[in-house]
Chain A
Amino acid sequence: MTDSSSVQRNGVVIDATFAEAFPMKATRIVITAHTPEWARHAAVSATGFATSVIACGCEAGIERELGPHETPDGRPGVNVLIFSMSGKELGKQLERRVGQCVLTCPTTAVFAGLPRTAGGDVAALGKNLRFFGDGWQISKVIDGVRYWRVPVMDGEFVAQEDTPVVKAVGGGNLLLLARDTDGALAAAEAAVAAMKRLPNVVMPFPGGVVRSGSKVGSRYANLNASTNDAFCPSLVGLVPHSELASKGGAHAGIGCVMEIVIDGLTEGDVAAAMRVGMQAAIGIGPAGGLLRISAGNYGGKLGPFHFHLHKLLGVGDGP
């Protein structure tokens, strides 16, 4: 919700509002392969259809690509972050995705990407996938870590036994309100590019950007989320609570809104990503078509993590 205390940066209005995020469970896996291309193929597949927990079971994305000196087996690799609403669901998604997209992909191997803490939760990685070996699978304990070696047609698929699961934060977001599609895309692309340079976060939607921002609930009983009508330019004048209604100034002339959703391993990671994302978008400015930045909140009913935009930019203490 906005109020009259909005501030401007580079001519872009920053709403006095906050992004509302919620707790999730997360893990990081390292996918390696003979070449960076094959690691990427596996990672892209494994993170496919993992945009929103509303219907996907998990939210996942490629965190960054790794050089051979950064991976357990000295081959090129990719870091993937996977988030889910519970440890059980995360384990289920992990098994399906690694089993269908990494095990199947030529030359790949998969490892845990988070440090193990005593007594911490874990999710199975190779522990259950090993049965694909039909009895020919063998385990190898190296330096206290168990790996499974599953015979496959190009040699063997190596998977670490399990991967640590940690508490995480999902649903950090920015709403980029622009004059038109070009301006919204330019701002969103700049923000995503800046966020991707940070560790511990992923933007799970296609290209990191979502055009179908949602609100909680629906007029239809079988839907738990529906279009964020308050930010739909096509509904200005039709929706009484539109955030884009003609209040003049920055509210006028907004023809396109894009959202960026951020999942991070910690609250600080999400905050840092939102900060650099906003700064990058602000750099686009009204000249590039960006008029206003807002965020999605649901009156504090969605989750306990509140990322106040003004506070992130160092403007006072925020609302």
Chain B
Amino acid sequence: MSGWNLRLRQVPAMRVDLRGITPSALAELSAAQVEQLPVGHGNELIALAELFDIAPGNEEGVLRLEGNLERFDRIGWQMDAGRIRIEGHAGHYAGGCMRGGELRIEGRAGLLAACEMAGGTIDVKGDVGDFAASTLPGSMDGMRGGTFVVHGNAGERFGDRMRRGTALVHGGAGAFLGSRMVAGTIAVGGNVGAHAGYGMRRGSIVFAEARAALPEGTRPAPTFVPNRAATPVFWALLARDLARHGGLFSDLPMRRIERHLGDLSADGKGELVVCL
């Protein structure tokens, strides 16, 4: 599997659908074949070479994309191996339905990043838009595996219907964080909007910023109950895992927690974990 470097020539007039442009799909192709790969541009298909300068890369299995790719959607869509590195921003659906490999975005990502992600790792240095780690319209389950790390802030409905995996936001998150969550782990470093854990059935949402009570948005929720039972084992295991990601999460193993169980209107087996 060889690597490829794609340098954006100029920002396209319309949105581009980059699904199918993955390291494993390009691995066995010649330069000429890669240049002729069709990508959606508006309602037509154009050759990849019309948008990018294409050159073989030095790193095995790495697809490097350079430029402002905010109009490029579905980068890493259904990716299952290899690595994609975006040296710029990404459009919508980045890492959507990803099953393996690594997607690294040096800038920010648009809506629905990591939606229905099932495996692998996504690392976004900047912010992500609404519905990250969540579900596609009409689907039952959102993120269902892998690790998703956002170093900036997340929009609304982060982790909606999330079922499995770990999603971290070093910054803050919008309203309805972890809404309708089925399982998995979300950890947030900054402030969050109202209604965190709305309708969550199971799963854990960890608030890493030091505070004495639940975040403002969730405090009035009558469908969560405080729980004082000692859960040192679960917390030791989870905190050690989250601490690997550094930042506000690095000292979690040393901190005490307060748990609130709910959402009682759903299944009541989820938990909001507040780090004191």
Interface residues in chain A, defined as those with a beta carbon under 8 Å from any beta carbon in chain B? 32, 34, 72-75, 109, 136, 138-143, 147, 149, 154-156, 158
Contact = CB atoms under 8 A, between A and B. Distances in A.
A147 B234 contact: yes
A74 B184 CA distance: 23
B164 A141 contact: yes
A140 B234 CA distance: 8
B269 to A, nearest CB: 5
B204 A75 contact: no
Contacts of A32: 233
Interface of B: 164-165, 183-185, 202, 204, 229-234, 236-238, 240-241, 253, 269
A110 to B, nearest CB: 10
A48 B164 CA distance: 38
A146 B242 CA distance: 16
Nearest to A136: B269
Given A141-B184, A143-B241, A155-B230, 20 more contacts: A32-B233, A72-B236, A72-B237, A73-B232, A73-B236, A74-B236, A75-B233, A109-B233, A140-B185, A140-B204, A140-B237, A141-B165, A142-B241, A147-B234, A147-B237, A149-B234, A154-B229, A155-B229, A156-B233, A158-B237
Contacts, number: 50
Contacts of B240: 74
Contact of A73 (B202, B204, B233, B269): B233
B165 to A, nearest CB: 8
| Chief secondary structure at chain A's binding surface | strand
Contacts of B269: 136, 138
16 contacts: A72-B236, A74-B240, A75-B232, A109-B233, A136-B269, A138-B183, A139-B183, A140-B204, A140-B237, A140-B238, A141-B184, A142-B238, A143-B241, A154-B230, A155-B230, A156-B231
Nearest to B270: A138
A225 to B, nearest CB: 41
A155 B237 contact: no
Most buried by A among B183, B229, B236, B240: B236
Contacts of B233: 32, 73, 75, 109, 156, 158
Nearest to B228: A155
B204 to A, nearest CB: 7
Nearest to A137: B269
A32 B184 CA distance: 25
B147 to A, nearest CB: 9
A195 B237 CA distance: 33
A154 B232 CA distance: 11
Contacts of B231: 149, 155-156
Contacts of A139: 183
A204 to B, nearest CB: 28
A103 to B, nearest CB: 13
Given A32-B233, A156-B231, A138 B202 contact: yes
